[in-house]
Structure 1
Amino acid sequence: MKSIGSMLLVASAFVLATASPTTPSPTTPQSDCWYEDDFTACFVNQTYAKVQPKITSLQEKITKLEQSLKNRKEFRCESGSIGDANWPTMPTWPLTKNIKFKTPFETAPTVTYGLSYIDIDVSSQDRVRSEVASVTNAGFQLTVTTWQSSKLWGARATWMACGI
Structure 2
Amino acid sequence: MQARKFFIRKLFVIGTKLKMSPFSVDIRIAALLMVICYIGSATSTLCQAGEVNFMSYPKSPFPQEKRIKFEQPFIERPVVMYAIKMIDAQYNTNTRIKVNLQWVRPERFSIFMTSAYDSKLFGLGVSWMACP
TM-score (norm 2): 0.72
Q: Do the aligned partners of residues 52 and 153 (structure 1) sit closer, same or farther apart at CA in structure 2, a change above 3 Å counting?
A: closer
Provide structure 2 residue ranges, at least 5 long, that are not aligned to the other structure: 1-15
In the alignment, structure 1 residue 97 sits paired with structure 2 residue 66? yes
Provide structure 1 residue ranges, at least 5 long, that are not aligned to the other structure: 1-47
Mapping of residues 115-130 of structure 1, within 5 Å: 115-130=84-99
More strand by share: 2
Corresponding residue number in structure 2 for 1:152: 121
Q: Do the aligned partners of residues 56 and 126 (structure 1) sit closer, same or farther apart at CA in structure 2, a change above 3 Å counting?
A: same
Q: Aligned AA for 1:64?
A: A
In the alignment, structure 1 residue 63 sits paired with structure 2 residue 34? no
Corresponding residue number in structure 2 for 1:4: none
Distance 1:89 1:153 in 2: 7
CA offset digits 1:99-157 (Å, max 9, x no partner)? 11122111112211111000111221110121113111111111111111111111111
Q: Aligned AA for 1:140?
A: F
CA offset digits 1:64-86 (Å, max 9, x no partner)? 33245546763332222222211
Instruction: Answer with 1 or 2: which has the greater Rg.
Output: 1
Q: Aligned AA for 1:142?
A: I
Higher relative contact order (CA 8 A, sep 6+): 2
Give percent identity, aligned residues only.
27
CA offset digits 1:11-58 (Å, max 9, x no partner)? xxxxxxxxxxxxxxxxxxxxxxxxxxxxxxxxxxxxx8x8243x6423
Asked if 2 retains the 8 angstrom alpha-carbon contact of 1:113 and 1:160, the reply is yes
In the alignment, structure 1 residue 51 sits paired with structure 2 residue 7? no
Distance 1:152 1:81 in 2: 18
Distance 2:20 2:127 in 1: 57
TM-score (norm 1): 0.59
